[in-house]
Amino acid sequence: MTREEFIEDLRNRVRESFAMELETATPNELFVAIGQIVRACYAKSWHNTRQRYLVNKQRQSYYFSIEFLPGRMLKSNLMSLGLLDMVRSTVEELGFEFEEVLNVENDMALGNGGLGRLASCFLDCLASRELPGNGNGIRYDYGLFKQQFVDGYQVELPDAWLKSGNVWEVRRESEAVEVRFGGNVYMQPTKDGKLKPVAENERILRAIPYDTGVVGYHNDTVNTLRLWSVEVPESEEGKYRSIEERRMVEDLTAVLYPDDSNEQGRLTRLSQEYFFVSAGIQSIVRYYKKLKMPISRINEYVAIHINDTHPALCIPEMMRILLDEFDLSWEKSWGLTVSMMSYTNHTIMQEALEKWPLQMVKYHLPRMFQIIEEIDRRFVTNLTGLYPDDLIQRTRIIQGDQIHMANLCIIGSHSTNGVAKLHSDLLKSVVLHDFYVLYPERFNNKTNGITQRRWLQQANEPLANLIDKTIGTSWRKEPTDMERLMNYCEDNEVLVAFEQAKQQNKLALAKYIEKTTNIKVQPNAIFDVQIKRLHAYKRQLLNLMHILKCYFDLKDNPEMDFVPRVWIFGAKAAPSYTYAKAIIKAINEVANLINHDPIINDRMKVVFLENYNVSLAERIIPAADVSEQISLATKEASGTSNMKLMSNGAITVATMDGANVEIRAAVGDENIYTFGLTEEEVYRYYEQGNYSAQAIYDQDPVIQRVLNAFVDGTIPNIQREGQEIFDSLLRYNDEFFLLKDFVPYCQVQAKLSQDYLNREKWQKMSLINTAKSGIFSADYTVQRYADDIWQIAPVDLHKEK
Ligand code: 26Y
């Protein structure tokens, strides 16, 4: 597309869609019109991709996830299509601010955090590596809540992201399917003496797919993210007479559950899980029928991935279709199902493991219940005598009055993976050890990754351009080529240029901070960043304790040498997670105290940015000097912000947890600040039960002063929250061992501050972090899933078939 064609197209669309002239358009109209142009640009490739997969009878993977977190899509689509520079310069020449146009787009925030963002990175990588892989999920009317602070407290507002329309989606009426809930199922004998399930009094809902193109980077691949929305089918209109009844139905895909740690066992959540799973599996089977292949070979054409246990019902739903609709035997159906399914575990935290009440499943999903019961029965029967009874009892799916979804996933799939080496090892040796005894060959590791296209190329153009200038542009397609930056570790000119790029990003973030919070920060201070969901195990509180220590040091000794620092937080707390909310309040009050204390004289600033989401991450990450990855060892399955920050040249302060271990191995000990308890030490405390927070407190006056600040009025306005925090540490014995890790944490922070003064040393460390970050590209992660688990191969759409 030439510049002239683009302007002409833009002019026409603004006219036709808004009855306006281009000259009078605002960023809103411009965003919609450019979005339409971009969509039109990839429409043909999208169609071709689908057509080619169909004609080739391509084996495809389907990534089932109850969360997807793509963020904004205009800039990434423009970049993938190679149109970014032209469109940007043209828009600016026309007298508009391109940034403003981009900012019109609502984030697509249909996810809580890491798991949902990982799903979106994976889709991007599948398309960019020409791999035939699709997403399947829910089109929530409301994404993750918007966060506001009122008097330092988190307040949640609805995220009505669809209010102004969604240029990227296509509603596919003709591909709607029915999903059935409730009713009774009984077994009826057929003529040939078999038993067939017959259902009565079911409630039938309609699932409408909305498809979004996933545009590959500089290739012609456009894959599909299919999200399902619920409707009352016309045939059922009469049944849902009252407004309440209709609302019950519409509630199904109304909101994303905003909790990523505590399973609450809610019926609507269970219904969501079955709804998108059933719709997705039906749509896969319907597509497979088009290939005119026997059902007994479906596993040669379909790979289904279960992202955490939320889509676990894929297993019984596939069984239902093979058994009830294709009349296959149990054995045949089971063989096909297990060979199609694979599962990723994202957590070892007990509270986040899904367990559904038997009665709830039995009443609302009676056929699923029957099938799960039979899977469980056969599992027990087949293992009895071969393995100890207690092992069988610990691994079976139905235990007491609950269905253990992780057990269902492992038993019903051929692959179970963790998301970082340490995490996968813990699954084998501790968390899922019993299963590892049963199925050692099913366990594997797939360390998470990120897409540098979004997190470096797009979010950090100053750095990306500088990398181009230094080593050429091949890294944009092959991220490990960034390793060539290692040749410039001693090159002062290059180091200074990298420092300038960082400075430019810090300046931009400083502006944003001032605009949104009124806080002025010095761009030459250390920008110390912790961005992630608010969770006790992630230990934002440890960071806050260190901030308080620095504050007291300066108060005691105002003349001391102190390397100026700006602490930047971004974090949402689940609305029902009161402890996490108390920590938000405490951080905000400490920020208020320190930011306005004349003695501190701007040497410390604490900034908690509201509404952390993908697009805010894109602003913060390029400007970070320090990346806080300080979860208690064993608790963070992988982490992915650690990789994004590293790639952008931030230095990590890390516990030996999740993928931090692999980051250290990549950059070397000298280029990361590690501290804290190791996995072994944590488990030793658990085994020996001899951790005493009180003992640590009693011996350390600094810790006493820091903790007392929460309850003695030093930090104002946190009577209740301060007490809750104080109690969590002392009365309830500090579940995540903050007090034990506090001193070593402060020590590495002090070292870091000193190192920061040595600009050359720091810049070298930063360069090495970027240089070594290529291995964390999700391009490679996805390639390993494709090779080891899904067995899918690239399809070159440039080539004629
Ligand atoms: C069942 C419900 C309460 C639930 C909902 C969401 C449970 C868990 C989640 C989300 C979990 C999640 O985001 N986990 C994170 O996944 C990332 C991608 O693998 C990891 O990097 C990160 O360590 C892990 O906490």
Angle, nearest 10°, between helix axes 492-517 and 461-471?
170
Q: State if residue 642 touches ligand 1 by the CB under 6 angstroms criterion.
A: no
pLDDT for position 800: 54
Q: How far away, in angstroms, is 119 Cα from ligand 1 center?
A: 11
> 3-class SS at 63?
strand
Residues of the chain with pLDDT under 70: 799-801
Tokens, residue 249: 């139905």
Atom from ligand 1 closest to the CA of residue 353:
1
Q: b or e along 59-82 (b: 16 or more beta carbons within 10 Å of the residue's beta carbon)?
A: bbbbbbbbbbbbbbbbbbbbbbbe
Residue nearest atom 21 of ligand 1, based on CA coordinates: 639
Q: Report the C-alpha gap between 202 and 200 in whole angstroms.
A: 6
Residue that is last in its domain, among 355, 385, 414? 414
Q: 747 and 612, same structural domain?
A: yes
Helix (H) or strand (E) holding 13: helix 3-18
409 and 474 share one domain:
no
In a domain, 564, yes or no: yes
In a shared domain, residues 377 and 463: no
Rounded to 5°, angle at Cα 21 from 16 and 25: 100
- Residue 216, ligand 1, Cβ within 6 A: no
- Amino acid occupying residue 230: V
What domain range is 2 assigned to?
Answer: 1-56+74-105
Q: 472: burial class by Cβ within 10 Å (0-12, 13-18, 19+)?
A: exposed
**Identity at 249, one-letter amino acid code:** V
Same domain membership, residue 739 and residue 751? yes
Residues 42 and 185 in one domain: no
Distance 637 CA to ligand 1 centre (A): 8
Task: At 135, list the tokens.
Answer: 């997403």
Answer whether 517's CB lies under 8 Å from 609's CB.
yes
Decide if 164 contacts 276 (C-beta within 8 A). no
Determine the distance separating the centroid of ligand 1 and the alpha carbon of 351, expressed in angstroms.
11
CA 240 to centroid of chain Cα atoms: 36
Task: Tell me how far apart the alpha carbons of residues 83 and 504 are, in angstroms, rounded to a whole number.
Answer: 24
- Whose tokens are 């591909």? That residue is 175
Q: Is residue 420 part of a domain?
A: no
Q: Are residues 89 and 129 in the same domain?
A: no
Q: What residue type is 453 in one-letter code?
A: R
The two structure tokens encoding residue 636: 């963070």
Q: Are residues 100 and 145 in the same domain?
A: no
Residue 789 is assigned to a structural domain of this protein: no
Give the separation between CA 593 and CA 144, rounded to whole angstroms.
30
> Do the Cβ atoms of 705 and 512 come closer than 8 Å?
no
Do 232 and 92 lie in a common domain? no
Q: Does residue 795 lie within any of the structural domains?
A: no
Residue 758 Cα to ligand 1 middle (Å): 38
Q: What is the pTM of this model?
A: 0.98
Q: Are 600 and 551 a contacting pair, CB within 8 Å?
A: yes
Contacts of 433 by beta carbon, 8 Å cutoff, 6+ apart: none
Calculate how far, in angstroms, residue 462's C-alpha sits from the geometric centre of ligand 1: 32
Longest dimension (CA), the chain: 93
Domain end, chosen from 367, 391, 414, is at 414
Q: How far is CA 526 from CA 24, 493, 563, 739, in A?
A: 43, 22, 8, 25
Rounded Cα distance, 82 and 218, in Å: 7
Closest by Cα among 602, 513, 629, 491 to 499: 491
Using an 8 Å Cβ cutoff, are 692 and 733 in contact? yes
For residues 212 and 46, what is the distance between their CA atoms, to the nearest angstrom? 10
445 domain residue, yes or no: no
Number of domains in the chain: 3
Please tell me whether residues 3 and 87 are part of one structural domain.
yes
Residue type, 745: Y
Catalytic residues: 346, 532-533, 538, 640, 644
> Same domain, yes or no, for 67 and 208?
yes
700: in domain: yes
String of DSSP letters for 681-749: HHHHHHHH----HHHHHHH-HHHHHHHHTTTSSSSTT-HHHHHHHHHHHTTT--TT-HHHHHHHHHHHH
Any idea what the CATH number is for the domain that residue 506 is in?
3.40.50.2000
Task: Report pLDDT for 797.
Answer: 83
796: in domain: no
pLDDT at 436: 98
**Residue of 257, 262, 345, 347 to test ligand 1 pocket, by largest number of atoms within 8 Å of CB:** 347
Whether 273 is in the pocket of ligand 1, judged by its Cβ within 6 Å, is no
DSSP string covering 389-449:
HHHHHHH-SEETTEEEHHHHHHHT-S-EEESSHHHHHHIIIIITHHHHHH-GGGEEE----
Same domain, 266 and 387: yes
**In sequence order, what are the beta bridge partners of 697?**
none
Mapping DSSP onto H, E and C, the string for 156-193 reads EECCCCCCCCCCCEEECHHHCEEEEECCEEEEEECCCC
Q: Is 118 in the pocket of ligand 1 (CB under 6 A)?
A: yes
Are 545 and 726 a contacting pair, CB within 8 Å? no
Residue 406, both tokens: 């992780």
Cα 68 to ligand 1 centroid, rounded to whole Å: 12
Lookup: tokens for 361: 């499943």
Is ipTM beyond 0.90?
A: yes
Which tokens in the block code for residue 74? Answer: 């205009």
CB 260 near ligand 1, within 6 Å: yes
352 lines ligand 1 (CB under 6 A): yes
Question: What pLDDT shows up at residue 162?
Answer: 98
Same domain, yes or no, for 493 and 641? yes
**Long-range CB contacts for residues 703-707, cutoff 8 Å, separation at least 24:** 703/739, 703/742, 705/552, 706/545, 706/548, 706/549, 706/552, 706/742, 707/545
- Which residue among 260, 409, 423 has the greatest number of ligand 1 atoms within 8 angstroms of its CB, and so is best to mutate? 260
Nearest-atom number in ligand 1 for the CA of 263 is: 3
pLDDT at 21: 96
Mind listing the pLDDT tens digit for each residue in 32-46? 999 999 999 999 999
Q: Are 530 and 543 spatial neighbours (Cβ–Cβ below 8 Å)?
A: yes
End-to-end Cα, the chain, rounded Å: 26
- Do the Cβ atoms of 64 and 413 come closer than 8 Å? no
Give the 3-state DSSP-derived string for 312-353, with helices as H, strands as E and coil as C.
CCHHHHHHHHHHHHCCCCHHHHHHHHHHHEEEECCCCCHHHC
Domain for residue 429, yes or no? no
Q: Is 130 in the pocket of ligand 1 (CB under 6 A)?
A: no
Locus of tokens 């250390």: 526
Ligand 1 atom closest to the Cα of residue 116 is: 13
Q: Is 256 in the pocket of ligand 1 (CB under 6 A)?
A: no
259 lines ligand 1 (CB under 6 A): yes
Q: Using one digit for the tens of pLDDT, what is the confidence trace for 686-735?
A: 999 999 999 999 999 999 999 999 999 999 999 999 999 999 999 999 99
Res 801: pLDDT: 46
Minimal-distance CA residue to ligand 1 atom 1? 263
Distance 531 CA to ligand 1 centre (A): 15
